[in-house]
């Protein structure tokens, strides 16, 4: 029996699926979470447009950097989607994605400092997101803290 079936049948609370007994999802976008989802949305638009433009016009100049920026764009878009979608499954997916994003930012940030020659052009995560006011390194930490403390 699926979680939605249990909720509909009244035999479960629906908590594991992030649904309330009435079938509605638990909202993740409320209070400070609204700022988190807004920032992820802005980062999604910025990273997607930057990477698409760079890949389309100058990919051969810095393929690694532009591919990593495209990967960051996908991560940001997925996290934005999960936060807007809501529910406990989306919360867990967002937590895992924020942790993966933080690992990516720290890895790429360290890599760009250790081997600058590998990056003839910057990525979204270069120098831990310095070109984006360090939002790329602060946002996943903020997102994980908010997701863990805002349970309803």
* Per-residue model confidence as pLDDT tens digits over 71-116: 999 999 999 999 999 888 998 999 999 999 999 999 999 999 999 9
pTM of this structure: 0.80
* Rounded average pLDDT over 2-29: 49
More confident call, 6 vs 65: 65
By the 8 A CB rule, do 73 and 44 touch?
A: yes
Residue 10, pLDDT score: 38
Burial 34-73 (b: 16+ CB within 10 A, else e): eebbebbbebbebbbebbeebeeeeeeebeebbebbbbbb
Q: How many degrees, rounded to 5, is the angle at CA 52 between CA 44 and CA 118? A: 95
C-beta of residue 74 within 8 angstroms of C-beta of residue 50: no
CA–chain centroid gap for 43, Å, is 9
Q: Determine what percent of the chain is predicted with pLDDT higher than 90.
A: 66
Region 20-41 average pLDDT: 76
In this predicted structure, the answer to whether residue 48 has a pLDDT above a threshold of 80 is yes
């Amino acid at each position: 029996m699926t979680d939605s079936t249990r909720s509909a049948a009244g035999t479960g609370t629906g908590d594991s699926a992030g649904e309330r007994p009435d079938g509605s999802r638990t909202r993740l976008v409320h209070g400070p979470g609204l700022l988190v989802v807004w920032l992820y949305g802005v980062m999604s638009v910025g990273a997607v447009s930057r990477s698409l433009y760079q890949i389309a016009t100058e990919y051969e100049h810095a393929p690694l950097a532009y591919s990593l920026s495209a990967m960051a764009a996908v991560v940001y878009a997925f996290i934005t989607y999960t936060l807007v979608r809501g529910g406990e499954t989306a919360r867990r997916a967002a937590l895992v994605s924020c942790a993966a994003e933080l690992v990516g930012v720290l890895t790429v940030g360290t890599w760009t400092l250790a081997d600058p020659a590998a990056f003839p052009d910057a990525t979204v995560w270069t120098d831990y997101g310095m070109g984006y006011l360090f939002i790329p390194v602060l946002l996943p930490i903020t997102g994980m803290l908010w997701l863990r403390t805002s349970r309803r």
